[in-house]
Amino acid sequence: MLLLVAAAVATSLQAQPAFDRTRAPTLAPPARLVVPPVLTTSLPNGIRLKVVEQRELPLVQVIASIDGGVRLDGKTPGISTFMAGLLDDGAGTRDAATLQSEIAFLGANLSSTASWDGYSVSLKVALRSLDPAMDLLADVIRRPTFSSAEVRRQRDLRLAGYLQTRDRPEAVAGLAFSKAVFPEGHPYHRATNGDSATTASLDSAKVRAFYQSVVRPERLTFIVVGDISLAQARAAIAARFGDWRASGMGLVTPAITVSPTVRRASQVYLIDKPDAAQSVIQVGWPGVSRTSPDYAPLMVMNTILGGSFTSRLNMKLRETKGYSYGAGSGFVFRKVPGPFNASASVRTNVTDSSLVEFFAELRAIRETPVSADELDRAKNYLELQLPGDLEGTTQVAGQVAELQSFGLSLGELPRFAAAVRRVTAAEVQRVARRYLTPDRATIVVVGDLAKVRAGIDALKLGTTVVWDVKSVVR
């Protein structure tokens, strides 16, 4: 019997054509992207509500999105992220330990954070535990304790964190790059976590006063996704937030009066990291708006350049040259445009050679049309990952929150997919020539200058400035 089975298997294998490993398999056309409907309503006090029903599992994801963010920091850089981090470190009658214990008992995940343009408190919980979890969420948003002991503990942790950041070349390079691209007076010039001087001045009273000026019902939008209807979600939120009335005036986001640095020639910033085994390289310039009509061709262009594993930068620096574990590039999209940068951590002894490859690729995609194969792969890469962005409650809520920050809806996703399909090689070259400016770049290198400085200088990329790490991470 076994001999008969083995013979049948062998015959079957012989009948199959040999698999050609030199050619990538042919992909089927992407399925049409269908986005779920987003139902909206509001409470009389101005709180907005967006609900997406997703009934596959008895789970509910809630994101409380509050307009504002780091741009409201004013003369106290870092206070937004500090305040947001404290929201779930004690609320109502619970101290930090009790609050975290109750969250864990419910099997829920609850976290709070701040970005450049807002604050968010995220809750994910099983439907059966939604009511007690919403009670905790209401305490976190409306009744944070900001106890003196917890403020002092977090303040000491943050102060120690600045010292640790000085020992992290990637973080230093990122902060230096922002400082170089966005001049003094622009909000992106400074770190989201501020500096040691402003952190040392924080106390419970200051944090509470800031909280009361920025966390207010008229700024709040709830995004609820999961096994719940619009009526159920509205009732749950109205019961806990419907009577909320803020007192006093809220802070107004200040206008940006300082423009990012558009260079006439490239500038090199070097930061010494003695004995570093690697150099961190960042190359870039001011970016572009998320609502630009060129968004789709920009995404295709960047996917080819440095936005995917098979991108030119990663294949050249990692696979062909062996200089780095990975290289990439990307545009940072915020309400006010962030930067574009290309980056990698490379072996110290090939720092100059890596810079040569960065600029070769940045110029090549401007000068020569991309191949049909590269174009197809990039378009498929972008379009085929869109369904994954809508796979679960967390992903859907995240997409709704991100798109609304730019005044866009979920319907933007299928429009983007269609726009990607229409991108041509000529459009990729057009946006590369318009938005990539390698002859007017900001170049940051953090590494062992005793070993890399001469090689970088020999490239004559531009004038050079040496920064002390303490001037970048203060």
Write the pLDDT tens digit of every residue in 15-72. Answer: 566 677 777 677 777 778 999 999 999 999 999 999 999 999 999 999 999 999 999 9
Contact 379, 423 (CB under 8 A): yes
Is the four-CA dihedral 358, 364, 367, 369 of positive or negative sign? negative
Of residues 27 and 419, more confidence is placed in 419
Euclidean distance between CA atoms 321 and 325, whole angstroms: 11
User: What b/e readout covers 395-410, taking b as 16+ CB neighbours within 10 angstroms?
Assistant: ebbbbbbebbbeebeb
Contact 50, 174 (CB under 8 A): no
- pLDDT (mean) for 217-238: 97
DSSP assigned state of 242: T
Other residues' Cβ atoms within 10 Å of the Cβ of residue 364: 14
Euclidean distance between CA atoms 383 and 329, whole angstroms: 19
At 32 the pLDDT is 84
At 29 the pLDDT is 76
Ramachandran angles phi, psi of 169, nearest 5°: -55, -40
Pick from 24-38, 114-128, 181-195, 357-371: least confident: 24-38
Q: Is 235 helix (H, G, I), strand (E, B) or coil?
A: helix
CA-only gyration radius of the chain, Å: 26
Query: Which structure tokens are listed for 419?
Result: 């726009």
Residues 252-298: pLDDT tens digits?
999 999 999 999 999 999 999 999 999 999 999 999 999 999 999 99
Q: Can you count the helices (H) and strands (E) in the chain? A: 18, 12
Residues sharing a CB contact under 8 Å with residue 244, sequence separation 6 or more, in sequence order: 45, 47, 142, 217
Residues 447-457: pLDDT tens digits?
999 999 999 99
Q: How confident is the model at residue 373 (pLDDT cuts 50, 70, 90)?
A: very high
Q: Does residue 12 surpass a pLDDT of 70?
A: no
Q: Does residue 9 surpass a pLDDT of 60?
A: no
- pLDDT (mean) for 135-148: 97
- pLDDT (mean) for 142-159: 96
Ramachandran angles phi, psi of 48, nearest 5°: -100, 155
Q: Does residue 10 surpass a pLDDT of 90?
A: no
Report the chain's mean pLDDT, rounded to a whole number.
94
At 15 the pLDDT is 56
Of residues 144 and 32, more confidence is placed in 144
At 17 the pLDDT is 61
Our CA angle for 406, 426, 341, nearest 5°, is 50
Q: Which stretch of DSSP H or E encloses residue 196?
A: helix 196-200
DSSP letters, 341-398, are EEEEEEEGGGHHHHHHHHHHHHHHHHHSPPPHHHHHHHHHHHHHTTGGGGSSHHHHHH
Euclidean distance between CA atoms 88 and 86, whole angstroms: 6
Euclidean distance between CA atoms 281 and 447, whole angstroms: 9
Distance between start and end Cα atoms, the chain: 77
Q: Does residue 179 surpass a pLDDT of 80?
A: yes
Contact 200, 69 (CB under 8 A): no
Q: Which of 174, 213, 196, 221 is nearest to 74 (CA)?
A: 213
- pLDDT (mean) for 429-449: 98
Q: Does residue 7 surpass a pLDDT of 70?
A: no
Q: Does residue 161 surpass a pLDDT of 60?
A: yes
At 8 the pLDDT is 56
Euclidean distance between CA atoms 132 and 227, whole angstroms: 16
Ramachandran angles phi, psi of 309, nearest 5°: -60, -35
DSSP-derived pairing of the beta strands 48-53 and 39-42? antiparallel
At 22 the pLDDT is 74
At 162 the pLDDT is 94
